[in-house]
């Protein structure tokens, strides 16, 4: 088809010379401002490519003339945070609990640090959020064996329970079955009594024989109402929360051969500030006194 450029009578523009069935195409140039912006964008992009990390090659990339590195920026930010936290951790180590609790910013650092410490060190035994596991007390339940004030918790965590630490909390339930202090029938009877009276599973049995054995052998530590005794680390038996679970077999097992669980002494592994932070975290889980 022959091309013939001519001027359009109505718009005054040139045509491109293309024509279809009498329709002619106008050659309308892009507005100048659009063209300038377009070229400016290309120049801007080229500039960025030269100044900043851009073109990959092989195993590396072009680093750019400005030497910018987002990873280095993150490293610097982290270093700054660690530095800030060090100040806070020093303060937490030095200040009494009341003063820390009165300082919301410091408290936030303590709870964050405590949560991380707990997840790393305590969760395997005590469960997520201090929910507890058989043999490992639920720290969120408020059913404290040794005590749930901040200083109680700090003491427990620092020195441990039945650990190698000379200041560890210590006490030992006698091995009534293993040592032959109680006969198997007596153990069954006292288990019936504990199961019915304190664990709340009365099955209409006469448990008076067990009650007598309990008063003579157990009440000194666990209390005549099964209320427990924190000085002895003897758990409250009249409770819904049980260290070794809610079963009659667990009671029989415990009277036969107490487990005497060991809680490590963290004073040799965690700094005093970290121990205070994790104590504040444990205290905040819902059971703190
Ligand atoms: C190896 C398992 C283990 C680990 C790890 C562990 N604990 Fe314990 N913890 C125990 C046992 C077992 C007991 C209960 C001992 C007993 O029978 O009295 C206990 C008891 C406690 C108690 C006393 C609870 C009460 O009712 O008085 C606190 C508080 C506690 N742990 C906090 C912690 C914290 C905080 C950490 C982490 C820094 C931690 N534990 C790590 C095993 C562990
Ligand atoms: C010298 C103190 C002492 C005496 C006496 C004692 N206990 Fe205990 N008892 C403890 C301690 C400490 C624990 C927890 C630590 C452990 O041994 O694991 C415990 C734990 C228990 C538990 C587990 C509680 C739970 O929450 O799971 C039961 C059940 C129990 N005792 C029953 C008895 C009975 C029954 C007797 C008497 C025949 C008795 N105890 C005598 C100190 C004592």
**pLDDT over 90 for what percent of the chain?**
74
- Ligand 1, atom 16, lies closest to the CA of 261
The preferred substitution site among 119, 120, 125 for testing ligand 1, maximizing ligand atoms within 8 Å of CB, is 125
pLDDT at 239 over 60: yes
Instruction: Please name which of 76, 61, 103, 118 lies closest in space to residue 266, comparing C-alpha atoms.
Output: 118
pLDDT at 2 over 70: no
Q: What is the pLDDT of residue 29?
A: 86
Separation CA 100–CA 106 (nearest Å)? 6
127: left (phi over 0), alpha (psi -120 to 50) or beta: left
Cβ atoms of 118 and 276 within 8 Å: the answer is: no
Instruction: Please name which of 143, 151, 168 lies closest in space to residue 260, comparing C-alpha atoms.
Output: 168
Q: What is the pLDDT of residue 1?
A: 52
Query: Looking at residues 242-267, what average pLDDT do you find?
Result: 94
| Other CB atoms within 10 Å distance of the CB of residue 129 | 15
| Residue of higher predicted confidence among 71 and 147 | 147
Residue 5 Cβ < 6 Å to ligand 2:
no
| CATH architecture entry for 73-167+263-284 | Orthogonal Bundle (1.10)
Torsion angle (degrees, nearest 10) of CA 115, 119, 123, 129: 40
104-121 helix and 272-284 helix, angle to the nearest 10 degrees = 90
What is the CA angle 18-24-30, rounded to 5? 80
pLDDT at 158 over 90: yes
Residue 126 Cβ < 6 Å to ligand 1:
yes
Ligand nearest to the CA of 158: 1
| From-to residues of CATH 1.10.760.10 in the chain | 73-167+263-284, 184-256
Query: Looking at residues 224-238, what average pLDDT do you find?
Result: 95
Query: Looking at residues 165-187, what average pLDDT do you find?
Result: 94
| Other CB atoms within 10 Å distance of the CB of residue 274 | 21
Separation CA 65–CA 53 (nearest Å)? 8
Ligand nearest to the CA of 154: 1
Tokens of 264: 């490590």
Of the pLDDT bands very low, low, confident and very high (cuts 50, 70, 90), residue 259 is: very high
Least confident of 52-61, 164-173, 192-201: 52-61
| Residue of higher predicted confidence among 29 and 165 | 165
Of the pLDDT bands very low, low, confident and very high (cuts 50, 70, 90), residue 114 is: very high
Separation CA 133–CA 67 (nearest Å)? 52
Instruction: Please name which of 174, 167, 161 lies closest in space to residue 254, comparing C-alpha atoms.
Output: 174
pLDDT at 50 over 60: yes
> Across the chain, what does the average pLDDT equal?
92
Q: What is the pLDDT of residue 256?
A: 95
Quick one: DSSP state of residue 8?
A: -
- Ligand 1, atom 22, lies closest to the CA of 156
Least confident of 64-78, 95-109, 174-188: 64-78
pLDDT at 10 over 80: yes
Q: Does domain 184-256 have CATH number 3.30.470.30?
A: no
- Ligand 2, atom 16, lies closest to the CA of 260
Cβ atoms of 145 and 235 within 8 Å: the answer is: yes
């Amino acid at each position: 088809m022959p091309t013939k450029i001519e001027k359009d009578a109505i718009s005054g523009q040139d045509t491109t010379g293309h024509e279809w069935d009498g329709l002619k195409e106008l050659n309308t140039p892009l507005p100048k401002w659009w063209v300038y912006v377009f070229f400016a964008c290309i120049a801007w992009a080229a500039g960025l490519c030269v100044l900043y990390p851009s073109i990959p090659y092989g195993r590396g990339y072009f680093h750019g003339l400005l030497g910018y590195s987002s990873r280095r920026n993150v490293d610097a930010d982290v270093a700054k945070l660690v530095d800030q936290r060090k100040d806070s951790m020093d303060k937490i180590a030095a200040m009494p609990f009341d003063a820390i609790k009165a300082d919301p910013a410091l408290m936030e650092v303590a709870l964050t640090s405590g949560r991380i410490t707990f997840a790393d060190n305590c969760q395997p035994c005590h469960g997520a959020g201090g929910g507890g596991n058989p043999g490992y007390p639920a720290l969120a339940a408020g059913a404290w064996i040794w005590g749930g004030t901040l200083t109680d918790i700090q003491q427990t965590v620092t020195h441990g329970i039945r650990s190698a630490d000379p200041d560890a909390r210590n006490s030992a339930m006698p091995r009534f079955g293993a040592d032959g202090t109680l006969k198997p029938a007596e153990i069954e009877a006292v288990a019936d009594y504990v199961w019915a009276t304190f664990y709340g599973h009365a099955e209409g049995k006469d448990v008076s024989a067990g009650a007598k054995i309990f008063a003579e052998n157990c009440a000194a530590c666990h209390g005549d109402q099964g209320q427990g005794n924190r000085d002895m680390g003897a758990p409250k038996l009249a409770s819904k929360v049980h260290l070794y679970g809610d079963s009659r077999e667990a009671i029989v097992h415990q009277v036969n051969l107490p487990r005497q669980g060991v809680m490590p002494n963290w004073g040799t592994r965690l700094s005093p500030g970290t121990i205070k932070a994790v104590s504040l975290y444990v205290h905040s889980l819902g059971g703190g006194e």
